[in-house]
Amino acid sequence: MFEPYRWIEDIANRREYIEERLRGGSPVVGISYEDGLLLLTTTKGGKKIFEIYDRIALSAIGHPADIEKLREIIIDAAHLEGFMRSPEDVTLRRLSTFVLAPAMKQAFDEIFRSPYIARIMLAEIDRDGKATFCRIDYDGSFQIREGFEVIGDTEESERAMREEAEGKGIGSASLPLEDAMREALRIWAKGKASGHQEEGPKDVADILSEELGKAGRIEASVLCKSLPTTSKFQELKEEEISRMLEGIRDRI
């Protein structure tokens, strides 16, 4: 008769454990721009933004091994769906609702199984050029929205980023890429700054310089609807990012 209470306590402990392990991760920002959508974050090591299928990309915060497992699950599902049905059937909504969210919820709910220490963002440019994002949490809960989305290391981080984006009306598809990069950096800095509140306020340039000074780098990729290829994914090279940063440094 006491087992349900023990299960609830164990779930609460797992949630606390995962939240602590996610703390300190670099936020991820996804926003639409005039030719598609932009995903931006910072990294000190390997890649954090990946192509999943022709019009779908993924980024995440969490344990690299768990992110890689989830990436393999969704890539296998996407390519099987594309082969068995058609590429048009491979959509963000299907992959998030029927593949990734159930897998993460099952791992979280099964007490004797290791949960996924990961918070995921999926991004898609559909054939009409509309940008859609899906945030999937470690417990399988998810949210789909158009225009922009963020994931952070804490609830406070995500709240700060959403308030920044919504306050400036971010999500308009009319932004040029350089302007989208600038706004994404502003939003990212708001999320990162939420972990530095005890140190006093810092501006975007200070926070970015501090992060890059720790041997980190900006990672950015786009899903570009005007690309003539089937795949719309394009990773921005470091030279392109540096050139755009020079153009916007005085404006952030």
pLDDT for position 1: 46
**Class of 3-251 in CATH:** alpha beta
**Euclidean distance between the first and the last CA atom of the chain, given in angstroms as a whole number:** 58
Q: Is the pLDDT of residue 171 over 50?
A: yes
Q: Which range (3-12, 157-166, 190-199, 212-221) has the least confidence?
A: 190-199
What whole-number distance in Å separates Cα of residue 164 and Cα of residue 150?
11
Kindly state the DSSP code that residue 72 receives in the 8-state scheme.
H
Whole-angstrom distance, CA of residue 30 vs CA of residue 171: 9
With a cut of 60, say whether residue 75 has pLDDT above it. Answer: yes
Instruction: Quote the CA–CA distance of 57 and 190 in Å, as a whole number.
Output: 23
231 falls in which pLDDT band (50, 70, 90)? very high
Report CA-CA distances (Å) from 201 to 6, 23, 125, 196: 42, 20, 36, 8
Residue 4 pLDDT > 90: no
| pLDDT for the residue 199 | 54
**C-alpha to C-alpha distance for 133 and 158, rounded to whole angstroms:** 15
Instruction: Give the chain's radius of gyration (CA, Å).
Output: 18
What are the respective helix, strand and coil percentages of the chain, to the nearest 5? 45, 25, 30
How far apart CA 119 and CA 138 sit, in angstroms, is 6
Ordered by start, the domain boundaries in the chain are 3-251
How high does pLDDT run on average in the chain?
89
Q: Which amino acid is at 94?
A: R
Q: Note the pLDDT tens digit of each residue in 11-52.
A: 889 999 999 999 999 999 999 999 999 999 999 878 999 999
- Report pLDDT digits (tens) over 86-109: 999 999 999 999 999 999 999 999
